[in-house]
Amino acid sequence: MTILVQVRAALAEVSQKYSDTRLCHCQLEAEAVVENVCALSGSVLDGETLTAVHDTLTEQFPDLVFTAGAVRVLRSQPGQFCQVATNVTGLYAQPSFQAEMVSQLVQGMRVEQLLEQGKWVYVRQDDGYLGWVYGSYLGETAVSAPTHLVSSPIALLHQSPDETALRVGRVLAGTAVCVTQTNNTWAQLSLAGGSTGWTPLANLRPCDTLPQTGSAQRQQIIQDATQFIGVPYLWGGCTSLGLDCSGLAQLTHRLAGVIIPRDADMQYKAGRVVEPPFQPGDLLYFGNQRQTGGRAITHVGISLGDWRILHASVARNGVYEDDIQTVPHLHQQFVGARTFLRE
């Protein structure tokens, strides 16, 4: 086995540490070994990733010098940021509308621009989640800080503070918006991309009134979650137009001022363990048996109290209530519960 083959095998092995493409990017190649110098090429998310890979290779091959001049580091300093300038757009695994939609981004969400490919942009959300967005749906970062969250499933926007006025758009639940002025029961919103519109104040929740205690957070999460009953199931969905299980959990927590990871397995790993009897707002997780042993987390529901859950169900094609004890596949696949709420 030549030294280059050995290096490539070692590089493939160390790259496995960064195989979760939701949070990591490590696409490196060993080009050649010439006079004990091995040139690396490709791209990595950040300098820390490159340093870790370089140090591992150097430890395994102390007689080689590894150069990384041809490696592109995607996260630069300072970073390049932009905002979603449409009401909602998909976040895709590849730069194509035919690719898997892994999540969604709503109006005003900030993303870090990492790479451009044609009309597509590879981005990183503030929580580290990675994916491709159609570039035309992104705009410059807005100056005004958000003052409210859209709390209704859908808030229609009008040209003036009047229900009969021309409808100019809509924003979806969980969207952070800036109210620039009010008129009786109406609020004018200033949105990323420069658009504006009026919506009833009843559709909005002031950021400074978000619940501050665990009990208030639980009450708010359940109240909001029931608004989404009947919303159809959508893989990667995060809005009232379509939801997947972890998207529902993340959205309802955001509406209560609590930020949690995007996917069910990430939530399960990050949350605080809770035991029965479960409280409203606890998150209950389910999984399938791995071939290598243990459970792979595949589903999450929001406890309504004890074993009753509200969840975005593939089986029922939407957000509905179920009792884990009376649904065989839920009962068999239950793994455990977590919470992100204050005690």
Model pLDDT, residue 77: 84
Mean pLDDT on 184-199: 94
**Local confidence band at 136 (pLDDT 50, 70, 90 cut-offs):** very high
Domain 148-208 in the same topology as domain 81-139: yes
Q: Exposure string (b/e) for 122-161, b if CB count within 10 Å is 16 or more?
A: bbbbeeebbbbbbbebbbeebeeeebbbbbbbebbbbeeb
Q: Do the beta carbons of residue 75 and residue 114 sit within 8 Å?
A: yes
Mean pLDDT on 293-321: 93
Q: Exposure string (b/e) for 229-247, b if CB count within 10 Å is 16 or more?
A: eebebbebbbbbbbbbbbb
For 171, other C-beta atoms within 10 Å of its C-beta total 26
Model pLDDT, residue 126: 95
Q: Is the pLDDT of residue 293 over 80?
A: no
Domain 3-73, CATH 3.30.300.130 — does that match?
Answer: yes
Domain 148-208, CATH 3.30.499.10 — does that match?
Answer: no
Question: What pLDDT, in 10s, does the model give residues 61-73?
Answer: 999 999 999 999 9
Question: What pLDDT, in 10s, does the model give residues 167-186?
Answer: 999 999 999 999 999 999 99
**Local confidence band at 35 (pLDDT 50, 70, 90 cut-offs):** very high
Q: Is the dihedral of CA 318, 323, 328, 331 positive or negative?
A: positive
Helices 245-255 and 214-225: crossing angle in degrees, nearest 10, is 130
**Local confidence band at 1 (pLDDT 50, 70, 90 cut-offs):** low
Model pLDDT, residue 290: 66
Model pLDDT, residue 140: 81
Homologous superfamily (CATH) of 210-339 is: endopeptidase domain like (from Nostoc punctiforme) (3.90.1720.10)
Average pLDDT, the chain: 95
Percentage with pLDDT > 70 across the chain: 97
> Right CATH number for 81-139 from 2.40.110.10, 3.40.50.261, 3.30.70.1400, 2.30.30.40?
2.30.30.40
Model pLDDT, residue 288: 85
- All structural domains of the chain with their residue ranges: 3-73, 81-139, 148-208, 210-339
Model pLDDT, residue 119: 98
Whether the predicted model's global pTM rises above the 0.75 cut: yes
Mean pLDDT on 192-202: 94
Model pLDDT, residue 142: 65
Q: Is the pLDDT of residue 292 over 70?
A: no
Question: What pLDDT, in 10s, does the model give residues 227-246?
Answer: 999 999 999 999 999 999 99
CA gap 338, 285 in Å, rounded: 8
Model pLDDT, residue 76: 84
Percentage with pLDDT > 90 across the chain: 93
Model pLDDT, residue 144: 80
Model pLDDT, residue 295: 66
Model pLDDT, residue 343: 87
Phi and psi based region of residue 12 (left: phi greater than 0; alpha: psi -120 to 50; beta: remaining): alpha
**Local confidence band at 193 (pLDDT 50, 70, 90 cut-offs):** confident
| 319: helix, strand or coil | strand
Model pLDDT, residue 214: 97
Q: Is the pLDDT of residue 46 over 70?
A: yes
Model pLDDT, residue 103: 98
Q: Is the pLDDT of residue 259 over 80?
A: yes
Q: Do the beta carbons of residue 217 and residue 258 sit within 8 Å?
A: yes
